[in-house]
Amino acid sequence: MKVGFDNQMYLKTQSEHIKERIASFGDKLYLEFGGKLFDDYHASRVLPGFEPDSKLRMLLQLKDQAEIIISISAIDIEKNKIREDHGITYDADVLRLIDAFRGKGLFVGSVCITQYSGQKSADTFKERLENLGIKVFRLYLIDGYPSNVAHIVSEEGYGKNDYIITSRPLVIVTAPGPGSGKMATCLSQLYHENKRGIKAGYAKFETFPIWNLPLKHPVNLAYEAATADLNDVNMIDPFHLEAYGKTTVNYNRDIEIYPVLMAIFEGIFGECPYKSPTDMGVNMAGNCIIDDEVCREASKQEIIRRYYTSLCRFVKGECKAGEVYKLELIMQQAKTSIDDRKVVSAALLKAETTHLPAAAIELESGELITGKTSDLLGAGAALILNVLKALSGVDDEIKLISPTVIAPVQELKTTYLGGSNPRLHIDEALIALSISAATDENARKALHAIPKLKGLQMHSSVMLSDIDIKTINKLGIGLTTEAKYGNKK
């Protein structure tokens, strides 16, 4: 994988700036972690070289001072919103995050349900968490939010919300995904802390949009693509421009909420320590890009990937046409199109000539490898095995897995487990490959080539199964699929 981002430089400079911000406040700091704290795969795709756990590694340096609040929107719970990269609902991801944080020795203080208005599913989730010994607090929908500042910063606004009890000086507020109410949680807490005479501060650790890249830089446009379902829009920060005469990039929700934050800080300190939404942020990512062209190309591929994902969501009835149209517009702004994704035409040509579902992957050299559905393997599994042959120097004619190994797996799937599809999924094929590697040198070479799959781009002529998608994500492959079902079901 070509590298365009210096992760070690990022860890060093970002940690230093967070520590400086913590030192600038008094009793307590609420630090909103934008994006994904534990596994930011979007950042690793658009900034090749960024490690998905970078934010976590920085947080571990402060773990004795820190506790975590996980925010989740009651609206997202109600509609069973899915986290795309893991294929699980946001409420299930809250439980996954709690386990993951605790497994690293981090203290999860509570869960905050935001945008609450009596949703039964949110009440059920609250009860489930409390049965597990997890403290749960609720933030209510506020009339006139975010424009009616006088009402918001009052007993009828933030005053109605639960006061989240915390015990450590650094409070990290994170969430399963965007739109979960992280900032609302922080602002509500500032209001309540002030009432109790506690001098609390707020800062924002948001990777995207990157404030010191141009507004229409593909990295920033890829962020718009990632949040198309939220209608987020990157904007020039007018407050920063007025205060400093410098052009910086932020996004609409931060700019809209800034007057609220300014009013809250004025109530606490008598003046606002920040002159702009950009000032609130602690983001050194833009300074750590070492190859702009690599990041531009990766971001364009991400925008196309998001477009295909949206098409599939539309076919499944999970979004409206407006989301697809917005992504088409973002592709135009990024000066890219599906024609710039070579694997698309390769996969479709293979499917057309074989009259079977097919898939393609582009190697770093530019070579295109294809695979098709067979009696033994699904198109995805066949493709991955073909690519591993190419990456490990094994002749394409050699079978990495003997049919005598595959046959018992198929019998298990259909005869004993009652499945209707005898073909091996990608994970099943990789397990069979690992078994073959015990006695076969070629299979061993192919198995050891698996890390080289990371960062490669793939396209399928049909929508893949959830289990194949999860495996592809784990391998670090950038996947797109046609918005077409692979069978009559």
Residue 212 to residue 210: CA distance in whole angstroms: 6
Tokens at 274, concatenated? 């920040």
Quick check: helix, strand or coil at residue 449? coil
Counted residue by residue, the chain has a size of 489
Give the pLDDT score at 489.
55
Task: Read off the tokens for 176.
Answer: 């399963």
133: which 2 tokens? 């010994």
- Residue 191 to residues 65, 157, 160: CA-CA distances in angstroms? 22, 10, 11
Q: Which residue has the tokens 């890390």?
A: 451
Residues 37, 55: Cα–Cα separation, whole Å? 6
- CB-based contacts of 233: which residues, under 8 Å, 6+ apart? 224, 251, 252
Out of 1.10.3720.10, 3.40.640.10, 3.20.20.140, 3.10.630.10, select the CATH number for domain 7-221+231-288: 3.10.630.10
Which of these, 24, 31, 19, lies nearest to 190 by C-alpha position?
31
Return the beta strands (E) in 136-289 as ranges.
Answer: 136-140, 170-174, 200-205, 234-236, 249-251
Instruction: Give the pLDDT confidence score for residue 488 in this predicted structure.
Output: 60
Give domain 341-481's CATH number out of 3.40.50.1000, 3.40.50.1820, 3.40.140.40, 3.40.50.10490: 3.40.140.40
pLDDT string in tens for the chain (489-residue length): 789 999 999 988 988 888 788 778 777 899 998 777 777 889 999 999 999 888 888 888 888 889 999 999 999 999 998 876 677 899 999 999 999 999 999 999 999 999 999 999 999 999 999 999 999 999 999 998 877 888 888 999 999 999 999 999 899 999 998 889 998 999 999 999 988 988 888 998 888 999 999 999 999 999 999 999 888 899 999 999 999 999 999 999 889 889 888 888 887 777 898 999 999 998 999 999 999 999 999 999 999 999 999 999 999 999 999 999 999 999 999 999 999 999 999 999 999 999 999 999 999 999 999 999 999 999 999 999 999 999 999 999 999 998 888 989 999 999 999 988 899 999 999 999 999 999 999 999 999 999 999 989 999 999 999 999 999 988 989 999 999 998 765
Residue in the block written with tokens 């094994």: 394
Calpha distance 193→449 (Å, rounded): 54
Return the closest-CA partner of residue 370 out of 350, 353, 388.
350
DSSP three-state, residue 212: coil
Q: Is the dihedral of CA 361, 306, 92, 56 positive or negative?
A: positive
Paired strand residues for 370: 360
CB count in 10 Å sphere of residue 411: 12
Q: Where are the domains of the chain?
A: 7-221+231-288, 341-481
* Alpha-carbon separation of residue 281 from 10, 46, 156, 202, 361 (angstroms): 15, 20, 29, 10, 38
